[in-house]
Amino acid sequence: MTIINFTPMSALLGGALIGLAAAFLLLAQGRIAGISGIAGGIIYPEEKDSMSWRLVFVLGLILGGFIYQWLGLGVGVNHIQAVADTPLLITGGLLVGIGTQIGTGCTSGHGICGLARRSPRSLIATLCFMGSAIVTVYIVRHLSGAV
């Protein structure tokens, strides 16, 4: 994969917006901006009054990409193409779902919000999924020769 339009400013702005959104959700709703928990609350609602903010949050994630492209900020990004076949993508998605259940949260919940709150559990979870990612990339790129 080659990133053709990376600039430090866009990365900095994106990170700042993610941090602001997470802080706003915590201050306004007292909720953690973990995508697996937010999406899980839509699929399996536990509280009736929490559905609206969850839907708005997910809709914002989806519309954000379209707005970015519409504003002309995504110049040079015509399409995204997966280099893996469909069964591998489905398997990967299922493993991510299982991992979020086992780790009681996802990368955004633990890595962004949990670390910001100095949660020891989030530190361990973040170290585990980052370590797993590093090992996986090493195996795929250097040992299997797949990419």
CA distances from 131 to 36, 65, 98 (A): 20, 29, 17
Domain interval for residue 8:
1-80
Q: Which of 58, 80, 102 is the last residue of a domain?
A: 80
Task: Please compute the mean of the pLDDT values over residues 16-45 and round it to a whole number.
Answer: 87
Q: How much is the pLDDT for 106?
A: 83
On whether both 48 and 97 belong to a single domain, the answer is no
Same domain for 25 and 59: yes
- Residue 43 sits in the same domain as residue 13: yes
Asked if the model's pLDDT at residue 1 lies above 60, the reply is: no
Return the pLDDT at 38.
Answer: 87
Q: Are residues 65 and 107 in the same domain?
A: no
The CA distance from 67 to 28, in Å, is 24
Give me the amino acid identity at 122: S
Same domain, yes or no, for 17 and 46?
Answer: yes
Domain count, the chain: 2
pLDDT category at 5 given cuts 50, 70, 90 is low
